[in-house]
Structure 1
Amino acid sequence: MAFVKITEQPSLYDNLEKKSVLEILQDINTEDQKVALAVKKAIPQIEKLVSQIVPRMKQGGRIFYMGAGTSGRLGVLDASEIPPTFGMPPTLVIGLIAGGDTALRNPVENAEDDMNRGWEELKEHNINEKDTVIGIAASGTTPYVIGALHAAREHGILTGSISSNPDSPISKEADVAIEMIVGPEYVTGSSRMKSGTGQKMILNMITTSVMIQLGRVKGNRMVNMQLSNQKLVDRGTRMVSEELGMDYDQAKRLLLLHGSVKKAVDAYHAENPNS
């Protein structure tokens, strides 16, 4: 089957500059509604990847996201949200973007075309067989990502990919290929739109399900979140209050003493075994 770049096909809409603001917004929303359905079709592959990541992370493994442009930025974004949300160290989920941190705000010329750079960066992080490398590329053709996945696989490291084109080169380098086919973009080729939205959804699904499996959520609560601002301290206080049936001020003192909801609740039960 020939490789077709659906991400580069013409938009289903034309003469965009002649449309009203309302028409533009409605059309974009119509297209966005296709994204969740495309992600739904990919759930079997997402499950397959998560099921292989969890035992590796239980042995000390890490997740590395690799991407360029929007795809790279979304990987860095998801990785950066794991410590505050789940109280994990920032070394467990790592986002690498072609061109380095400069590329988060500014395009770095030709960075994504270097087939060897991705693997060199992974080696700088002492990558090993407990780790997982997930390549993100809407087109599925980014050399920086393809090269990293190819080398990782050669070294016996679990690889996954997220792309918006079927049977792309990136899929061929992945043990588990997640293909989310969202169709042509509203602005032709602008994969920051539907493809980017779908990538964000899938990254949320991967790390949230992994963290739940690793015991970082209790009931439906982020019991290990970092208490980095007043909103989160308030949220944590209410969790402790509800869990232990104590008043707000007492719960807040306990929370701040121990630093997380889980530690506060565990310490309370240890001191009050009959509670």
Structure 2
Amino acid sequence: MIAVKMQEHAIHDPEKPWGHWLRLEPEDIDGMSYVDFDGTRHPTIRHAFWCGRLNMPLFAEKVPDDQLEIIQIALTARIRGAGGRPMYHDVLSLDHYRFLHQWLVSERLLMLTESRSPLDGRLTAEGMSVVRMLDVTRPHPVRHQKPGRATIDLLVDIVTEPAKGEERRRRVEEQAQAWNAAFLRRSLAGRPAVILAKRGDGPMPIMKTVWMLRLPDVRSRDALYDWLCDHLDRWPAWGQIAERYNGQELTNHLLSVMIADRSVIHPEKDRCT
């Protein structure tokens, strides 16, 4: 029903990103909400598209960005008029490729042409606006990479992988070196710490440390970093808080989010002493 309401009221301008009509309103704890015509609130535009427009479920309480990456690849290929063979060899099997295009036609993101084959579908106005939205809202880890098999695998591994541990921490840190805002593990004056490095906007866009937090031991630092890895999509916004205000403001903000999240529990301090 939500998807039907959204389609009935939305004006799909191919020159504007999908969701341009959503109303941005503040939330109590962390960030803003995108409000639809019927009052439904979404934490992100991608959430509004995936859950509201497509009426699809979340995966592990998250929007599956790897699936949206596949949709973006398929729709972008139709803009270029590219044939399907490179895509289904690189990303999907032929059967999945055919089903994807049939589904995109059923969702009115592609329209049939003279051949009447979904594989030759042409972008609708909404399909074009979806391409624009998916491009400007791509997850931070893959924002500067061309969509393809490598970015899909990265999103699966980093964003949706439930496993924790040192392997994931190292993988995130390696990828984060190229991002505009990155939390990194460091040792400061002999103590374990987490820093936030942010790339400047000047003619020489070097990375500078805008926030740091020393921890009592490595275990505490890694527990904090695990939690930060679970919130990769918030790193750019948190970098802006540290840069616009100060480190203490970001510390207070992170504490508020952690309390609301209730997902950071120190293994040795989750009891009265």
Structure ranking higher in strand proportion: 2
TM-score (normalised: structure 1): 0.24
TM-score (normalised: structure 2): 0.24
Structure ranking higher in helix proportion: 1
